[in-house]
Amino acid sequence: MAHRNEEEGSIGTSMHGVTAKEHVFSFSDQGEDAWSSHSVQSDDPTAKFALPVDSEHKAKVFKPFSFAKPHMRAFHLGWISFFTCFISTFAAAPLVPIIRDNLNLTKTDIGNAGVASVSGAIFSRLAMGAVCDLLGARYGTAFLLMLSAPAVFSMSFVADAGGYLSVRFMIGFCLATFVSCSYWTSVMFTGKIIGLVNGCAGGWGDMGGGVTQLLMPMVFHVIKVAGATPFTAWRIAFFVPGFLQVIMGILVLTLGQDLPDGNLSTLQKKGDVSKDKLTKVFWYALRNYRTYVLFILYGFSMGIEMTINNVISEYFFDRFQLKLHTAGMIAASFGMANFFARPIGGFASDMSARFFGMRGRLWTLWILQTSGGLFCVWLGRATSLPIAILAMMLFSFGVQAACGAIYGVVPFVSRRSLGIISGLTGAGGNFGSGVTQLAFFSSSRFHTADGLSLMGITSMIVTLLVAFIHFPQWGSMFLGPTSDGRKSKEEHYYAAEWTEEEKLKGLHEGSLKFAENSRSERGKKAAPDGTSTPLENENPADV
Amino acid sequence: MAIHQMLFASLLICLLFQISHGATKERLFSDLEKGALEVTAKPSRGGVLDAGIDKLSITWKLSSTATKEAEFTTIKVKLCYAPVSQVDRPWRKTENELFKDKSCPHKIITRPYDKSPQSFEYTLERDIPTGTYFVRAYAVDAKDHEVAFGQSTDEAKSTNLFSVQAISGRHKSLDIASVCFSVFSVLALLVFFVNEKRKAKLEQSK
């Protein structure tokens, strides 16, 4: 009965909680109301959650104005940590006109440092998935924040191009907070709303790349006015992102919680959560071809976004003869569009899944990323400031919404290796950024404007790879699900990641729970008379 | 619809600004009278000069070959990059269109035009980057348009150049603060980590 209610209200369900007018289910003893009774298998009768939860104790609604333990709190701590790291990684970019004079940098030096700033995270994002699987999202995040803060502070020592490059490289490692953040939200929120939740977390975190373009010139200006000479003022300015990182690290450790049911170390010692083998988790991620496709796709959405964070301020400063803070303001608008662009991408992904299932998600992704590439080409061609700004804003929307849409797909590629795949996709973003900066913005061979257009064209070509993502149970952009009765079940896809002996030990229980919850990816199958019917195969006995 | 109209109007206004601004855009460097002023720039000492410390002795006077002297109102003296300091640095590029030219960004002094020879003792500012330079003086008319110039080097910009070493911008106090905060960050993390491991062990033994 409760389940039927859910289906009828389903168009609005994903938005439940966003308006903050929804009924809040505060700590009820047995969770016995109509909302949650269907899903909470009272294997843990002491479960008390502020939000309605599913069988894995993941929240089923998203309330961005709430800080309730553990779900919403994890969300806020996660995205703010990621936001802080974005500020630090791209803090140098708006100050480059000053730094290049202080350190006597050439265009090649600046380009190489830009590549270095995003390269470190390729490896840290790869490792991060495993770290989160093993240590929990809290320590993953805190390690990154508090161990890369020294790198931020060490900008005060930099004296030449080599030092500048090394420090930017070391700061860049902290971009792996993206993985810990999306890992944290993926364990806290259920599949139906994960697109929106990850879109918000990722988008608001990515905003840091925009905020830094405003923040750093402002801090620099204030320090200069206070009496410091420019070549010292920019160094002092770097203490601000450094402080932010340390403070966030402490907050994450004191206020956060790894899993809906508690902290990882406590749960593991109690025997509630089994430790998985790293090699197995990695192997199943590498065996899945979708991992590689997502790696490349993200490289040309997030990768391009990060490249733009590094080059756009200098581009506007030089090409349109603007003041430092004016160029910073325009560059900031690019990154700030993330506030709504990426969540909209995630939401669009969820909405299209509601009607068309996984196929909807894939088409949404393709449309958004291709239009992003198109507007990037236009940005490079624009010779007047208003047109350039218009093109940039449209470009920012397309490419950032595409990022949100990709992470609407990622949680469904694997259950066992979610952490690693999340990390690999994220690493792909950094890889793409490094490659695009190296190819288009590191030499004096062509103007930055041409580099932008070429990057846009390359992106449009690469995005065609979306057509190759195929799920046997749900289909792909052009093909339907497989007709084989056994293989077209979600359980078969997710259980295939476990060997027979592991299944005998019951280690795949989590995957089966997830498979049941993922049936929403079939979309609505409209009946001939136009009314929608509830999803087929809703047989709890399967589990 | 109102929004569309507003956007279109603002776009149109911006375009108009571009067009009107364009009238002044075509002023070219090649149109200026060369060598109208004789400029010399003598460093206070040999070798590489230190920004913020060393000085330049700059003199300028009207050259005998000058023809547009009647229009001179102000003299703007600037520090300019020599070609070697412009390599692989497109933000210092020499452009013929005067408003686009970025090769002389550092202002030294601006003085009303005087027929008699002028001189100025310039201390290199602390925000001058490391590089090789020469000095150029622009003669500007009443409309603030450049009409002529003179420079301390030849046309190929290869003689009489001097080198400047920028300040590092580093300070000992900054270095120390940086180390302190870094150590704090790492220590705080370790303390939390060890503490939590201890608590988890206690829980398990219960």
The confidence score (pLDDT) of residue B202 equals: 84
Query: Which residue in A97, A385, A444 is closest to B90 by CB distance?
Result: A444
The mean pLDDT of A187-208, rounded to a whole number, is 83
* Neighbour count for residue A114 (Cβ, 10 Å): 30
- Mean pLDDT over each residue of chain A, to the nearest integer: 83
Quote the CA–CA distance of A458 and A400 in Å, as a whole number. 17
| Greater pLDDT, B107 or A538 | B107
The confidence score (pLDDT) of residue A505 equals: 82
The confidence score (pLDDT) of residue A40 equals: 42
pLDDT tens digits for A276-302?
Answer: 777 888 888 899 999 999 999 999 999
Cβ–Cβ under 8 Å, residues A404 and A342: yes
Which chain B positions have a beta carbon within 8 Å of A384's beta carbon? 14-15, 18
The confidence score (pLDDT) of residue B8 equals: 59
The confidence score (pLDDT) of residue A172 equals: 93
The confidence score (pLDDT) of residue A236 equals: 95
Which chain A positions have a beta carbon within 8 Å of B11's beta carbon? 386
The confidence score (pLDDT) of residue A393 equals: 95
Tell me what percent of chain B is helix, strand and coil, each rounded to the nearest 5.
Answer: 35, 30, 35
Q: Above 90 in pLDDT, residue B23?
A: no
Q: Above 50 in pLDDT, residue A495?
A: yes
Cβ–Cβ under 8 Å, residues A332 and A357: no
Phi and psi angles of residue A43, each rounded to the nearest 5 degrees, phi first: -80, -20
The mean pLDDT of B65-84, rounded to a whole number, is 89
Quote the CA–CA distance of B117 and B114 in Å, as a whole number. 8
**B184 with A246: Cβ contact below 8 A:** yes
Q: Above 50 in pLDDT, residue A163?
A: yes
Q: Above 80 in pLDDT, residue A352?
A: yes
Q: Above 60 in pLDDT, residue A95?
A: yes
Least confident of A7-11, A494-498, B28-32: A7-11
DSSP SS3 for A42: coil
For residue A153, the chain B residue with the least C-alpha distance is B178
**A384 with B15: Cβ contact below 8 A:** yes
Q: Above 50 in pLDDT, residue B178?
A: yes
Query: Which residue in A149, A253, A444 is closest to B88 by CB distance?
Result: A444
Residue A122 host element (H or E)? helix A107-135
Quote the CA–CA distance of B40 and B61 in Å, as a whole number. 9
| Greater pLDDT, B144 or B5 | B144
For residue A263, the chain B residue with the least C-alpha distance is B200
**A150 with B185: Cβ contact below 8 A:** yes
In terms of C-beta density within 10 A (0-12 exposed, 13-18 middle, 19 or more buried), how is residue A112 classed? buried
Cβ–Cβ under 8 Å, residues A2 and A34: yes
Mutation target among A109, A170, A246 for the B interface, most CBs of B within 10 A: A246
Q: Above 90 in pLDDT, residue A113?
A: yes
pLDDT tens digits for A25-67?
Answer: 433 333 333 333 334 444 554 457 888 888 778 888 888 888 8
Q: Above 70 in pLDDT, residue A272?
A: no
Residue B115 host element (H or E)? none
For residue B194, the chain A residue with the least C-alpha distance is A139
User: Phi-psi category of A509—alpha, beta or left, where left has phi over 0 and alpha has psi -120 to 50?
Assistant: alpha
Q: Above 50 in pLDDT, residue A5?
A: no
The mean pLDDT of B74-97, rounded to a whole number, is 92
Residue A101 host element (H or E)? helix A96-102
The confidence score (pLDDT) of residue A18 equals: 52
The confidence score (pLDDT) of residue B6 equals: 62
Q: Tell me if chain B has a CB within 8 Å of the CB of A246.
A: yes
Q: How far is A93 from chain B (nearest CA, A)?
A: 15
**B169 with A101: Cβ contact below 8 A:** no
**A150 with B182: Cβ contact below 8 A:** yes
Q: Above 60 in pLDDT, residue B139?
A: yes
The confidence score (pLDDT) of residue A485 equals: 81
- Which of A201, A174, A184, A86 shows the shortest CA–CA distance to A135? A184
For residue B201, the chain A residue with the least C-alpha distance is A269
Q: How far is CA B88 from CA A107, A419, A514, in A?
A: 6, 42, 55
The mean pLDDT of B52-60, rounded to a whole number, is 92
pLDDT tens digits for A398-445?
Answer: 999 999 899 888 888 988 887 788 888 888 999 999 999 999 998 878
* Neighbour count for residue A144 (Cβ, 10 Å): 28
Q: How far is CA A79 from CA A85, A406, A484, in A?
A: 10, 17, 41
The confidence score (pLDDT) of residue A35 equals: 39
In terms of C-beta density within 10 A (0-12 exposed, 13-18 middle, 19 or more buried), how is residue B106 classed? middle
Q: Above 50 in pLDDT, residue A527?
A: no
* Neighbour count for residue B22 (Cβ, 10 Å): 9
**B167 with A229: Cβ contact below 8 A:** yes
**A153 with B182: Cβ contact below 8 A:** yes
Task: Name residues 265-304 of chain A within 8 A of B (Cβ).
Answer: 265-266, 269-270
Q: Above 70 in pLDDT, residue B125?
A: yes
The confidence score (pLDDT) of residue A42 equals: 46
Cβ–Cβ under 8 Å, residues A203 and A338: yes
The confidence score (pLDDT) of residue A273 equals: 53
Quote the CA–CA distance of A390 and A8 in Å, as a whole number. 41
